Structure formats: structure tokens, C-alpha cells
């Protein structure tokens, strides 16, 4: 091994390259071994040259690894790649998507601060705000996602954050991110966007004015349902606070999971295009079937925010929800009649999944909370994978026959 190794000679020059190139190469810093693939650093701690070197690193006076709870080369490669794809100054990885949301609020909010949350968010997100953040003095109110005037009216002098999913889970509702960011900033608040359903391949909220983006990397960033993780991206000023939270509280992403996510990002754009194409075809087919009362998918012209989705996103995503005749009993009969699609509440997988939101992902919400969020007992959600569409249609036809 040469002692005259020049990192710049081995690393790729990424100045001015496009999204797909960043998805494959950003964040990789090759070691003196000259490896072509991304290495995995399985180590809990790091060796220092001297006691003074250790002290300087612990104090943050010099760069370098300290402890894998908050600095690890494999995790850092994933963080740098996400930051490049989202157009962020910095990204911070976490153990799960929920840990990413927790890290944002715990790092940036204090008792007495006010947070506005869209009514159209994941059930566990509502539970996190209701059961835990409120307990520690954070005020929380909920606003209809698309109603900009309601957001503006609900902001208080102590409002710190506005938190949205766009598109939302599971109804594919949207908010005009640029307009909502302007409303937040005019009153001194920050806008946080959960970009899990679109990923940076379809939408980059920071470029539309959002301050922070969060992801459940468990979903489309992984793409094959293999492991769990989350990530937060935004300005370095806010991300330093997130790093401080990880250093103390420790909801840390493992190096192995970070390596899996790096591999997932290499095919992200290709996969999202295929997911979107399959979902569009299925949504159009479902809309024509007897027994289907309503289809929720922004790619349909019948969707009330179809034009906004065209402006704001590069694609309409992979999640299609629809309401069937017969209420809960009809929905369960439909789901149970399928034989190919996986009955599971996860999404973002290469395999298509199907679930009943009101008794799974949103089952812990009170009935009135589900009603306010539009989660009816007749609603079914499918996260469309990469199988042949004709096979998926044939399987859903089994569900339709059971109604």
C-alpha cells in the first residue's frame, strides 16, 4: 500500500453532475485500499494518534471520527449522498424514520414551543406528538393539509415548526410547499416536510422553500424491505443540533443499514420511475372497476390536486388508496382474497403490499381522529411494487370478486 496515496486521485470529480450520477457516487471517499465499492466500517470506536489528538477530536476542534454513535464513515457516506440528492447543506442519519422526526423536535423545540402538524400524517407520527411531545410541554395543533388559510390562521407567536407529509399517507393529499414555506417564514417558523413517499427522485422540498426534510429510509430509499433507518436533511445550523441529539440520546443508524441504503440509492431513480408507471396503470384500472367507490392517487385527473402534483413533483408516487363497497367487512374480504400481493403495512418495497389503514397504520387513532384524517373503514392502501402490472390486476380482481 502506497504511503503517497492521493485521495483526490481515487475519488470521483462530481462538480456539476446530474442526479443519477450523484445517486451512484456522492459521499464515497475511498480509502488507501482503492476499493471501488462502498466499504462497511464495523467499529464502535476509533484509535487516536495521541492523547492530544483524542482530546481535540472529542472537543470538536479537529475533524475526525470519535465514536460510532454519531460518527461512522459508512453512515457519513449515506448522509452525504442524501444531502447531495436533496440539495441540503448536511444530512444526519437515524435508526428509523420515527427517530428522525423525534430528533427534529427534540433538537429544535423546547417546552412552551408550538408545533402545527397536518391532520394527514402517519398514525405513529400523531402518536409521537400526542403521547410524548405534549407530555414535555410542546403545544401541538392539527391543520387540514391543503388549506393554506387554515395554516396561516393557526400560527401563533410561539409556533416553531410546521410539519407536513406531502404526499400524505395514505390518501396522497398534497400541500403547495412553496406557498406554505412562505407562510411559515413570514411568521418566523420553520417548515418540515416528510418526503418519504416521493423521495428526492420525485420531489426536493428544500428547493421549494422548506427548511428541513425527513425520510423513513426504510421505505423507497432501501427499496427492498430489508432494514430500517431514517434521515434528516437541511441547513448545517439545524443539523448541528440534530447531531448533538444523536451524540447524547443515541438513536443511531448502523453502518450495515447505511451500506444497504447506499446500494438502494444507486437504483432510486430507476425504481421510482417504474413504481410510478405501475401505480398509474393500476389506479386508472381501479377507477373503472365495479365495487370501487373512490380511488386516491394524484396521477388521476379526478384527484383534486392533480395539477399541483404535476407542478411540484416529477412523478405521482407508488401509493394508491381506494375505497370499496361494504365498509370494513368488504375491505377485509377484498384483502383476504388476494393471493400474490403481500398483506403488510410496510411500503416502498419491490414487492406490492396491501393493508387496511384504519386497523393497522392508523389503528391507534381514535375514531374521530381517523374520520378527521379521512381514514374510513372502507379504505384500502396498496404500495405498488415492481411486478408485472397484469399480474397485479389479476390479483386485485380476486379482491373485487369477493365484494
What is each CA distance from 289 to 14, 284, 362, 390, in whole angstroms? 48, 9, 26, 15
The mean per-residue pLDDT over the stretch 18-31 comes to: 94
Task: Please give the pLDDT value at position 363.
Answer: 74
Task: Please give the pLDDT value at position 122.
Answer: 86
Checking if the pLDDT of 2 tops 70, the result is no
Residues across the chain: 403
Q: Are 41 and 256 in contact (CB under 8 A)?
A: no
Beta strand ranges found along 72-181 (DSSP E):
90-94, 114-118, 139-143, 159-165
User: CA-CA distance, 77 to 96, in Å (whole number)?
Assistant: 17
The mean per-residue pLDDT over the stretch 336-344 comes to: 97
**H or E stretch covering 335:** helix 327-337
Q: DSSP letter string over 171-216?
A: T-----HHHHHHHHHHTT-EEEEE-TTTHHHH--GGGGT-SEEEEE
Q: What is the pLDDT of residues 246-273, one digit of tens each?
A: 999 999 999 999 999 999 999 999 999 9
Instruction: Work out the number of other CB atoms within 10 angstroms of the CB of residue 187.
Output: 13
Confidence of residue 310 (pLDDT cuts 50, 70, 90): very high
User: CA-CA distance, 235 to 180, in Å (whole number)?
Assistant: 18
The mean per-residue pLDDT over the stretch 66-93 comes to: 97
Q: Compute the mean pLDDT over every residue in the chain, rounded to the nearest whole number.
A: 94
Q: Are 181 and 208 in contact (CB under 8 A)?
A: yes
Q: What is the pLDDT of residues 277-308, one digit of tens each?
A: 999 999 999 999 999 999 999 999 999 999 99
Residue found under cell 401541538: 140
Q: How many CA atoms lie within 13 A of 255 on its CB side?
A: 16
Confidence of residue 374 (pLDDT cuts 50, 70, 90): confident
User: CA-CA distance, 43 to 26, in Å (whole number)?
Assistant: 23
What is each CA distance from 5 to 27, 48, 62, 179, in whole angstroms? 19, 20, 21, 49
The mean per-residue pLDDT over the stretch 121-135 comes to: 92
The DSSP letter of residue 253 is P
User: Distance of alpha carbon 262 from its chain centroid, rounded?
Assistant: 15
Confidence of residue 375 (pLDDT cuts 50, 70, 90): confident
Residue 326's region, left for phi above 0, alpha for psi from -120 to 50, else beta, is left
Q: Are 242 and 107 in contact (CB under 8 A)?
A: yes
The mean per-residue pLDDT over the stretch 370-380 comes to: 86
Checking if the pLDDT of 19 tops 60, the result is yes
User: CA-CA distance, 246 to 267, in Å (whole number)?
Assistant: 29
Residues 6+ apart with CB under 8 A from 309: 167, 174, 298, 299, 303, 316
The mean per-residue pLDDT over the stretch 340-360 comes to: 95
User: CA-CA distance, 82 to 77, in Å (whole number)?
Assistant: 9
What are 235's three cell numbers?
441547513
Residues 6+ apart with CB under 8 A from 133: 105, 109, 115, 140
Share of the chain above pLDDT 70, in %: 98
User: CA-CA distance, 279 to 389, in Å (whole number)?
Assistant: 9
Q: Are 329 and 358 in contact (CB under 8 A)?
A: no
Q: pTM of the predicted model, to two decimals?
A: 0.94
Task: Please give the pLDDT value at position 1.
Answer: 37
Amino acid at each position: 500500500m502506497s504511503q503517497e496515496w492521493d485521495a483526490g486521485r481515487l475519488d470521483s470529480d462530481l462538480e456539476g453532475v446530474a442526479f443519477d450520477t450523484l445517486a451512484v457516487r456522492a459521499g464515497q471517499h475511498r480509502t488507501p485500499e482503492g476499493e471501488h465499492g462502498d466499504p462497511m466500517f464495523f467499529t464502535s470506536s476509533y484509535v487516536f494518534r495521541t492523547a492530544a489528538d483524542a482530546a481535540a477530536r472529542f472537543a470538536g476542534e479537529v475533524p475526525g471520527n470519535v465514536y460510532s454513535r454519531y460518527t461512522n464513515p459508512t453512515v457519513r457516506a449515506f448522509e452525504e449522498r442524501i444531502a447531495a440528492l436533496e440539495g441540503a447543506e448536511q444530512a444526519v442519519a437515524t435508526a428509523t424514520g420515527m427517530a428522525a422526526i423525534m430528533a427534529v423536535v427534540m433538537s429544535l423545540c423546547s417546552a412552551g414551543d408550538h408545533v402545527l402538524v397536518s391532520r394527514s400524517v402517519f398514525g405513529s407520527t400523531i402518536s409521537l406528538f400526542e403521547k410524548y411531545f405534549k407530555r414535555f410541554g410542546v403545544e401541538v395543533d392539527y391543520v387540514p393539509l391543503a388549506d393554506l388559510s387554515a395554516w396561516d390562521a393557526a400560527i401563533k407567536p410561539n409556533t416553531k415548526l410546521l410539519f407536513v407529509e406531502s404526499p400524505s399517507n395514505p390518501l396522497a393529499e398534497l400541500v403547495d410547499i412553496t406557498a406554505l414555506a412562505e407562510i411559515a417564514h413570514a411568521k418566523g417558523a420553520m417548515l418540515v416536510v416528510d418526503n418519504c413517499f416521493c423521495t428526492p427522485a420525485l420531489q426536493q422540498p428544500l428547493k421549494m422553500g422548506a427548511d428541513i426534510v425527513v425520510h423513513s429510509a426504510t421505505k423507497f430509499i432501501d427499496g427492498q424491505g430489508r432494514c430500517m433507518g431514517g434521515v434528516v436533511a437541511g441547513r448545517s445550523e439545524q443539523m448541528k443540533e440534530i447531531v448533538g441529539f444523536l451524540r447524547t440520546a443515541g438513536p443511531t443508524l448502523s453502518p450495515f443499514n447505511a451500506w444497504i441504503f447506499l446500494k438502494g440509492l444507486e437504483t432510486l431513480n430507476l425504481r421510482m420511475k417504474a413504481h410510478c408507471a405501475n401505480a398509474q396503470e393500476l389506479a386508472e384500472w381501479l377507477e373503472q372497476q365495479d365495487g370501487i367507490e373512490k380511488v386516491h392517487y394524484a396521477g388521476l385527473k379526478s384527484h383534486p390536486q392533480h395539477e399541483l402534483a404535476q407542478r411540484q413533483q416529477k412523478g405521482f408516487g407508488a401509493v394508491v388508496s381506494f375505497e370499496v363497497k361494504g365498509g370494513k367487512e368488504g375491505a377485509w374480504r377484498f384483502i383476504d382474497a388476494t393471493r400474490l400481493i403481500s398483506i403488510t403495512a410496510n411500503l416502498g418495497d419491490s414487492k406490492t403490499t396491501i393493508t387496511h389503514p384504519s386497523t393497522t397504520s392508523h389503528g391507534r387513532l381514535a375514531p374521530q381522529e381517523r374520520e378527521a384524517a379521512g381514514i374510513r373503514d372502507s379504505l384500502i392502501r396498496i404500495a405498488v411494487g415492481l411486478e408485472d402490472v397484469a399480474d397485479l390486476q389479476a390479483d386485485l380482481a380476486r379482491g373485487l370478486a369477493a365484494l
